[in-house]
Structure 1
Amino acid sequence: MRSILALLPLLLLAGCSSYRADPGQVKAVPDDRLLAYQQVEEGRGRIVVNRDIGFLGGGCYVAVLVDREVAARIGVGEVATFHVPPGARVLGISADKQDETLCGKGFLWRELAVQVAAGENHRFRIVSENQGGFAIRPDEP
C-alpha cells in the first residue's frame, strides 16, 4: 500500500507530459490558422511541425514561427506544413499573441536553426514537459 502511495504522485506528474499522437489522431491545422509559407513552389523545402497531445497547455494554441514570423497557430494533436526557401531558417514557438486569454499573456520563446535545401523535408514536434514547459525538437522516428 505504501509503495502505491509513493508512486502515485510520480504517475500524476508523468501524466502532464505530452506524448506523440497516433497518426490517425493527428489533424491538419485549419486554413484560417495557417498564416505564412503555404505556397508550394519549385525549389523550396518543407518543414512539418506536429504538436503532441498532453494536458499542459492543452487549451491553448502555440504560435509556430518561421524566421521569427508567425506562420501558424497550432493546437494539440495538429500538424502544419510550411514551404520555405532554401537556406538557414529559424524555426521557433511562442505564446499565441492573438489569444486574448491568459494563454496569450504567458512568456514562451524557443528557437532552433534549420538548414533547408531545395526538395528537403524536415520534421519537428512541439512537446510539453512538467519541468521544462514547451519545446520544439527534431522529430525522429
Structure 2
Amino acid sequence: MRSILAVLPLLLLAGCSSYRADLEQVKAVPGDRLLAYQQPVDGSGQIVVNRDLGMLGGGCYVAVLVDRQVAARIGVGEVATFQVPAGARVVGIAADEQDETLCGKGRLRRERAVQVAAGESYRFRIVSENKEGFAIRPDQP
C-alpha cells in the first residue's frame, strides 16, 4: 500500500507532460488568432509551429513570436504557418497577454534563432513539461 502511495504522485505528474499529436488530431489555428506573417513575400521561407497535446497549460493560449512580434495565439493541438523573409529570425513563445485568466499573467519567454533560406520550411514544436514548463524546440516531421 505504501509503495502505491509513493508511486501514484509520480505517475500523476508524468501524465501532465505534453505529447505529439497525431496528424488527424492537429487543427490549423483559426484566422482570427493568426496575427502576422501570413502573406508571402519575395524570397520568403516558412516557419511552422505545432503545439503538443497535454493537460499542462491545456486551457491556455500561448503567444507565438516571430522576431519578438506576436504572430499568433496558439492552442493545444494546433498548428500555424508563417511566411517570413529570408535571413536571421527569432522564433519564440510568450504568455498570451490577451488572455484575461491567470494564464496571461504568468511569465514565459523562450526563444530560438533560425537562419531562414528562401523557399525552405522550418518546423518547431511547443511542448509543456512538469519541470521546465513550456519550451519551443526544433521539430522533425
TM over 0.5: yes
Farther off after superposition, 8-17 or 129-138: 8-17
Flag structure 2 segments of 5+ consecutive residues without an equivalent. Answer: none
Q: Matched residue pairs, number?
A: 141
Aligned to 1:22: 22
Aligned to 1:41: 41
Instruction: Write the letter of the residue equivalent to 1:130.
Output: N
Aligned to 2:129: 129
**Partner SS for 2:24:** coil
**Partner SS for 1:24:** helix
Farther off after superposition, 3-12 or 71-80: 3-12
Instruction: Write the letter of the residue equivalent to 1:23.
Output: L
Deviation at 1:2, TM superposition (A): 4.8
Farther off after superposition, 107-116 or 34-43: 34-43
Superposition map of 1:61-80 within 5 A:
61-80=61-80
Distance 1:22 1:8 in 2: 27
Q: CA RMSD in A?
A: 1.1
User: Once superposed, which parts of structure 1, at least 4 consecutive aligned residues long, lie more than 4 Å away?
Assistant: none
Q: Deviations over 1:79-122 (max 9, x none)?
A: 00000000000000000001111111110000010100000110
Instruction: Write the letter of the residue equivalent to 1:137.
Output: R
Aligned to 1:138: 138
Distance 1:112 1:41 in 2: 22
Distance 1:41 1:115 in 2: 16
- TM-score, reference length from structure 2: 0.95
Farther off after superposition, 56-65 or 6-15: 6-15
Superposition map of 1:86-97 within 5 A:
86-97=86-97
Instruction: Write the letter of the residue equivalent to 2:37.
Output: Y
- TM-score, reference length from structure 1: 0.95
Distance 1:4 1:77 in 2: 32
**Partner SS for 1:97:** coil
